[in-house]
Amino acid sequence: MVPGLPASSTATLAVVLVNTENKPPRFLSRRYVGSVEENSPGLTPILWEGTEAPRVVDDDQGKNGSFELFLEDDGGAFSVQPSRGMNELNFALLVKDPTKLDYETSDTKYIEFRIVARETASVRPLSATAEIRVRLLDANDNIPQFSHEIYNVTLPEDASVGTTLVKIQASDEDSGSYGVVRYTAVNGPIAGNLRLDPVSGELTLLSGEGLDRERIPEYTLTVEARDDQGKGNRNMAEVHVTLADANDNAPLFLQPRYDAVLNPDMRNFYEPLRVQAYDADGPGPNSDITYEIVNGNYQEKFLIDSQTGELSLQAPLVPNPETQDHGLPVITLTVRAHDQGVPVRFATVKVQVHNQEYLNRSISFIIPLSVKKASERRQELERGFSALTGAHVNLHSIAFHNSSTQKSVVRCWVSYPLSSTVDLSNMDAIIRSMFGQDHYTSSKVESISRSSFDVVFWLLIALVILMILAILALFFYCCCVRSAEG
């Protein structure tokens, strides 16, 4: 009790507490996880895991309940829609810059960043943050890349079946099946001879048929690779195949036989004698020809230049007077040409060496064939002339006849056996077979000129001179007799 004051009184005090505290916006989840395929075009939405859409709420009234949404540290890859709201808002994330979404260059294969909801109040706006992780999904956006644009391969022309030309390789940056490469095709001129292993990329020889460096020395092929186990994106590369030379050609003599005539002193040939062979193989040992005499070297006096094929005599031949062929038989040398390849390949040719009499047995035929055709039919002509003359005929040279392109002069050396037979009833058939029906009916073989007429000509001259001398002698004799009588 307090003196002077009423004993007691009661008053009721009502206090109304008005809640003016502002609360920040809040995301319904602290973390959102979604995914998007790499390279998706702008405005493609991120697909969220779970069924509920991301949502932000702010229960405050007025400005304290208004907020804006933005992203932090996404590198400009995404945008948020809508970017403003009040009290409650479902939001979406859209692709803004597709180039930021490259599966292959991303180490982690996801992008992590934050979304912020911040009140729009100008004074001390409150905000909330949620974590976002967007997984990148791979797309088949890479084609197989070959280790070389052009594979240069050298293959021996005689390579055996199963030889590996090259192992091509292509890689693909995509993941999973999108990056699994298969080698799906080889195309080009010799593709049928080859097999491309779809898994290893080994290109091997199935068949060597038709491979000939001397015919076609190089080929260009294309090989194809596809990703997605051979069903997806395709790429091509080239394979240049150069055939390497093998020694698959023997030397070939330019003439089927060579003939030569010795000078009277038997020291040398009437005309230079050179055998020549050609080897179709590539430059180097496979076509490098060496000549040698392998048989018939009469008196061991014939020499051949191993490089040029020129024949010569190192000493005069010595005739043997006891033999019936004027001391010197027809000498037949066998000359061999061999290359330097492995294995060594060679050819042989006969060289017939005749004495001077052979020259006297030369016949020139004028025939209704061009020089070119006559050259092509050399052996047929020899056979025909042999049948016509009953002799062994060696065709020596072919020349133009009076600048005619349709006729030529064929000079032959003939050697008669001790006895020979010419079947006259067969002449028509022989000439027809030599020159054909057309030539035979339109123009007969013109003339046969024999160079031994030269001898007759000189004999006639000598006879005329002798007659003149005889007349002169007679004249002087008459003069002498008359002067003696006088």
For Ca ion, give the closer residue by CB, 180 or 203. Answer: 180
Q: How far is CA 239 from the centre of its chain?
A: 10
For Ca ion, give the closer residue by CB, 85 or 179. Answer: 179
Contact present, 391 and 419 (Cβ < 8 Å): no
d(CA 85, CA 75): 24
β-partners of residue 170 are 146
Q: How far is the CB of 294 from Ca ion (least distance, A)?
A: 18
Q: How far is the CB of 413 from Ca ion (least distance, A)?
A: 32
For Ca ion, give the closer residue by CB, 177 or 426. Answer: 177
For Ca ion, give the closer residue by CB, 169 or 415. Answer: 169
For Ca ion, give the closer residue by CB, 342 or 466. Answer: 342
CA-based nearest residue to 179, from 224, 135, 148, 225:
225
- Alpha-carbon Rg for the chain, nearest whole angstrom, is 54
DSSP letter assigned to residue 184: E
Q: How far is the CB of 372 from Ca ion (least distance, A)?
A: 28
Secondary structure (DSSP) of 22-79: ----EES-SEEEEEEETTPPTTPBPEESSSSPPEEE----GGGGEEEEEEESSTT-EE
For Ca ion, give the closer residue by CB, 81 or 171. Answer: 171
For Ca ion, give the closer residue by CB, 58 or 281. Answer: 281
Q: How far is the CB of 248 from Ca ion (least distance, A)?
A: 5
Q: How far is the CB of 342 from Ca ion (least distance, A)?
A: 10
Q: How far is the CB of 249 from Ca ion (least distance, A)?
A: 4
Q: How far is the CB of 306 from Ca ion (least distance, A)?
A: 16
Q: How far is the CB of 387 from Ca ion (least distance, A)?
A: 37
d(CA 368, CA 254): 24
Q: How far is the CB of 136 from Ca ion (least distance, A)?
A: 9
d(CA 255, CA 258): 7
What's the first-to-final CA gap in the chain, in angstroms? Answer: 231
CA-based nearest residue to 234, from 224, 219, 221, 247:
224
For Ca ion, give the closer residue by CB, 142 or 352. Answer: 142
For Ca ion, give the closer residue by CB, 174 or 259. Answer: 174
Taking phi over 0 as left and psi of -120 to 50 as alpha, with beta for the rest, 402 belongs to left
Contact present, 221 and 254 (Cβ < 8 Å): no
Structure tokens that stand for 420 in this block: 């020979």
For Ca ion, give the closer residue by CB, 30 or 109. Answer: 109
Q: How far is the CB of 316 from Ca ion (least distance, A)?
A: 37
Contact present, 260 and 270 (Cβ < 8 Å): yes
Strand order in the sheet with 88-90: 26-27, 55-57, 88-90, 84-86, 66-72, 110-119, 127-137, 31-37, 47-48
Residues contributing to the site for Ca ion (CB under 5 A): 103, 138-142, 172, 174, 178, 213, 227, 245, 247-249, 279, 281, 286, 339, 341, 345
Q: Which residue has the tokens 């003016």?
A: 20
Q: How far is CA 263 from the centre of its chain?
A: 52
Secondary structure (DSSP) of 136-169: EEP------EES-SEEEEEEETTPPTT-EEEE--
For Ca ion, give the closer residue by CB, 58 or 138. Answer: 138
d(CA 283, CA 217): 13
Residue in the shown chain whose Cβ atom is closest to Ca ion: 174
For Ca ion, give the closer residue by CB, 172 or 224. Answer: 172
CA-based nearest residue to 153, from 142, 162, 163, 143:
163
Structure tokens that stand for 13 in this block: 């005090």
Q: How far is the CB of 98 from Ca ion (least distance, A)?
A: 13
Q: How far is the CB of 339 from Ca ion (least distance, A)?
A: 4
d(CA 235, CA 185): 11
